Amino acid sequence: MDQHPLRQTPVSKTLMVSSIIFIALLLAGGGLFLFNANKIRRNILLGKDIDRKDNFSERMKTMILVAFGQKKMFTRPVPALLHLFLYVAFVITQIELIEIVIDGIAGTHRVFRPSLGGFYTFMVSLIEVLSVLAFIGTIFFLARRNLLKVPRLVHNDLTGWPKLDANYILLGEITLICFIFMMNGADEVLYARGASHAENLGDGSLGLAISSHIGPMLFGGMSDTGLHIVERIGWWGHIMMVFGFLNYLVLSKHLHILLAFPNTFYSNLKPKGEFTNMASVTNEVKAIFDPSFTPPPADPNVPMRFGAKDVTDLTWKQLLDAYTCTECGRCTSSCPANTTGKLLSPRKIMMSTRDRLEEVGKNMDANKGEFKDDGKALLGDYITPEELWACTSCNACVQECPVNIDPLSIIVEMRRYMVMEQSAAPTELNGMFTNIENNGAPWQFAQADRLNWKNE
């Protein structure tokens, strides 16, 4: 007797339940990510406005070379090459992720294989090769942090959560790769037996570059039922790791995977060493030299402040820098002040800025979007004057950063606050300021005497 058209078989019921679970996880994972990403966007926009819309073609070139092309990474070739393995694997595997999402929603399996044929085999094989290279790179990076203990990766900036964060993501990468090969390896054996749970895909091996070898070796002795279980563990484990990683991004330094592109696009294109002028000071000087000059009216809702005391005194680009920081330590390892034993660490400047910004954001969340004064500030509670005055303004940290972060601009703004708001410059600088005010020069003699040397 024919089955009733609305009556479902156990297999179809299982697929339907699986699709419902997958869609629920997709919506929950994607929704949670967007919710947290919107908080980060809000935090960044707490910064003051700055115009970075000029020279579009140059900005695109910078983004393509520095963020996409990893140009500045290759000043240190070995870690750069291994990082490239992880980076390319991450980008290319997004193609496979599209298929997994479609399969999860529709209840299909390898939906692209019938239409793509040999090209499908090529692409999945390429992903497998890249996954192996990424595995090698991940092992290398774990060894550099935990066995070789490369100085910039075990610096005291990274005690506690930052060290765990780096290790967690590397271990997660290894777990993800293992799930990929569980899925593909078990599938290879099932296809060779003609026992795949997918229909109309044909018999015979999938012919994947890596799994066609390790699949039979690892899973060849298992029953069909066991293989189906292994394949499903691999498939669900893979997508669960992706959902988990997506939401882990917003809690970790690995947010740079997404933010490196806008951060490099909005880079400061001016020559290094060119300091910004404060509009309020510039207007005062213009008014002195030109009595007809009328400065633009100040916004009464924005308190006048010289320099930066807290994160809301910085620009949105400086706050974007803080969230983009990869904590790689290239800036600190190249800083001459840090090298000579001084307290300054450009990496710590960026990490402290991000920590304070997160604290301000949580304060706003707890107070219905309004910031309630907590008696803290970036300057003093997170970054000390000793750190700031140790900086030589050499721009080595800016030059070394692989994603064009500018720690020096934050240091300069906080120095400005100390000098112009607190009159808290070091004694040596106060002496220079007095000489400039009295003599028009940094030295302790009048301008009239400065050219006496030519008469001798």
Is 99 a member of any domain? yes
Regarding predicted confidence, which is higher, 208 or 4?
208
Residues 241 and 370 in one domain: no
Domain boundary (237, 253, 269) is at 253
Mean pLDDT confidence for 201-207: 62
Residue 438 within a domain: no
pLDDT of 186: 92
CATH of the domain at 321: 1.10.1060
Q: What is the mean pLDDT of the chain?
A: 87
Residues 232 and 285 in one domain: no
Same domain? For 331 and 190 the reply is no
Does residue 335 share a domain with residue 215? no
Residues 249 and 283 placed together within one structural domain of the fold: no
Q: Give CA–CA dist 135/101, Å, rounded.
A: 24
45 has pLDDT over 50: yes
Residues 252-267: tens digit of each pLDDT: 888 998 999 999 999 9
Residue 269 lies in a domain: no
What was the pLDDT predicted at 86? 87
pLDDT of residue 288: 80
What is the band of 3 on the pLDDT scale with cuts at 50, 70, 90? very low
Please give the share of the chain, as a percent, with pLDDT higher than 70.
Answer: 91
pLDDT at 205: 64
Confidence bin at 9 (pLDDT 50/70/90): very low
Mean pLDDT of 205-213: 85
Per-residue pLDDT at 4: 43
Q: Is residue 144 part of a domain?
A: yes
pLDDT in tens, 363-412: 999 999 999 999 999 999 999 999 999 999 999 999 999 999 999 999 99
Ranges 12-21, 106-115, 152-161, 226-235, most confident: 226-235
Q: Report the C-alpha dihedral over residues 102, 105, 108, 109, rounded to 10 degrees.
A: 60
One domain for residues 324 and 248: no
User: For position 299, what pLDDT does the model report?
Assistant: 66
Instruction: Please tell me the pTM assigned to this model.
Output: 0.87
Please indicate, yes or no, if residue 432 is contained in any of the structural domains. Answer: no
Q: Where in the sequence is the domain holding 96, given as residue range(s)? A: 13-34+76-253
In residues, how long is the chain? 456
Do 182 and 84 lie in one domain? The reply is: yes
Question: Domain for residue 234, yes or no?
Answer: yes
Residues 188-215 have a mean pLDDT of: 77
Asked whether residue 441 is assigned to any structural domain, the reply reads no
**378 and 327 in one domain?**
yes
pLDDT digits (tens, 9 = 90+) for 283-315: 878 888 888 887 777 666 666 788 999 999 999
Question: d(Cα 81, Cα 70) in Å, to the nearest integer?
Answer: 10
Read off the pLDDT band of 75 (50, 70, 90).
Answer: confident
Whether residue 43 has pLDDT greater than 60: yes
Q: In this predicted structure, what is the pLDDT of residue 243?
A: 92
Tell me, yes or no, whether 8 lies in a domain: no
Same-domain pairing of 234 and 111: yes
58 pLDDT band, cuts 50/70/90, is: very high
**What are the angstrom distances between the C-alpha of 291 and each of 67, 178, 277, 280, 294?**
47, 73, 21, 16, 8
Structural domains of the chain, count: 2
C-beta separation of 327 from 312 below 8 A: no
Both 174 and 237 in one domain: the answer is yes
Residue 348 predicted with pLDDT over 90: yes
Strand partners of residue 383: 379
Same-domain status, 240 and 315: no
Range name among 5-14, 54-63, 73-82, 86-95 with the lowest pLDDT average? 5-14
Residue 451, pLDDT above cutoff 80: no
Q: How confident is the model at residue 244 (pLDDT cuts 50, 70, 90)?
A: very high
Q: Are 207 and 299 within one domain?
A: no
